[in-house]
Amino acid sequence: MKRILSISAILLSALCAAAQNDIKDNDFNPVNTGVTTLSIAPDARGSSMGNLGAATDPDMNCQFWNPSKYAFGYSTGGLSISYTPWLRKIVNDIFLANLAGYWKPGSGDNQAISASFRYFSLGEVSMSDYDGNSAIQTINPYEFAIDLGYSRKLSEKFSMGVVLRYILSDLSYEDSYSGETNTAASAFGADISGYFVSYPMVGRNECQFSWGFNISNIGSKVSYDHGANYAFLPTNLRLGTQFMFPLADYHSLAIGLDLNKLLVPTKPRLKDFPDTVEGEMEYEEALEKWETMSPISGIFKSFSDAPGGFKEELQEINVSLGAEYAYNQQFFVRAGYNYENANKGGRSYFAFGAGFSLNVVQLDASYMLATAQSSPLDQTLRFTLTFDMDGLNDLLGKRRR
């Protein structure tokens, strides 16, 4: 039995632009992972700056970008709800929903507890027989992740954070004819992050300079076929910096840069080995090593295993450049650009967004404009609604008086 629209094709389309001319090129060699939806930015603010967030000002969605920033959060706590219709140019029932928040316990301001829950629905997928005839059954595959984090200031300028995560990817189906089954896969992961912030004087103006890092999804492999084959989690290294400076009274501008690299070993390809019996044996040996490699070994191997050498390793680095203009911390306009080498997926796009904040609630929206017109990621929208705990307490206090 084969699917009319295979689940693996959906996940590939979700993260790679379709109709890339370079797909036919021998240089096209994206890094393969399982649970690829963990790499999708959940909120409107970070995505509107071209997927930027390692060193931006702390907000309620730091759990994805850099959870150590929560320790520098301006509020006692808050909650964020985000919604993203995914691949809306192709289908209308795939979406990403995300709930995130944090809380600073006690009277101190040097630590924070955070949590998030993300749910990715792949909609309804029809199953057909080998001849592609009428649908035999429909399934509703989905993936979700739930995590808990802790961050703490280690000095007045530096903090670190850790997150523990449980992941479930349910792409299961059963072939009633052959008896073949595809089971749900689960895994555990962890994030380690750090954040530094300082306030240098430039002329007569106090500015803000920050940098941060986040190594996310360090964890076990996932398997959909009872352990016969395993896939790596999308372990990712994010490095970023931001510089914020005042333009005038109540006006400020922040410019940031993020670099991302998947810490996943590149799967060997037969065409990268000599077209001989010995070359085929070398390929089989390399493939076996890749399949049995531990996630930790894969992290270190990912820096030096690209068949194209150092040049191809550099191609695996994604670049995000973005800016945010703020008026009185109440009105925001954002823009950014995300670049990925065509040989690694070609997910390059411009992003735009805006936000409006009151004492209690903030609403943000973002819009993605892909550089390739045929990309299924083009015209992606995101919406985020944020609630501030301090603002809510102040509002309730005024009403009681």
Q: Which domains does the chain have, with CATH numbers?
A: 2-266+302-400 (2.40.160.40)
Cα distances (Å, whole numbers) of residue 347 to 65, 80, 234, 371, 390: 19, 26, 16, 8, 38
Query: Tell me, what's the pLDDT at 175?
Result: 60
3-class state of residue 366 by DSSP: strand
Query: Tell me, what's the pLDDT at 18?
Result: 43
Query: Tell me, what's the pLDDT at 371?
Result: 85
Query: Tell me, what's the pLDDT at 376?
Result: 73
The DSSP letter of residue 27 is: T
Cα distances (Å, whole numbers) of residue 60 to 6, 66, 364, 377: 35, 11, 12, 25
Q: CA 310, CA 304: separation in Å to the nearest integer?
A: 7
Torsion sign across C-alpha atoms 304, 30, 191, 354: positive
Which phi and psi (to 5°) does residue 365 adopt?
Answer: -140, 150
Which residue, 238, 343, 240, 234, is CA-closest to 298?
234
Query: Tell me, what's the pLDDT at 48?
Result: 97
Which residue, 375, 373, 362, 366, is CA-closest to 75?
362
Burial class (CB in 10 A: 0-12, 13-18, 19+), 249: exposed
Q: CA 235, CA 296: separation in Å to the nearest integer?
A: 10
Query: Tell me, what's the pLDDT at 183?
Result: 76
Give the residue ranges of the chain where pLDDT is below 50.
1-6, 8-10, 12-14, 17-24, 399-401
| 8 Å CB contact between 274 and 29 | no
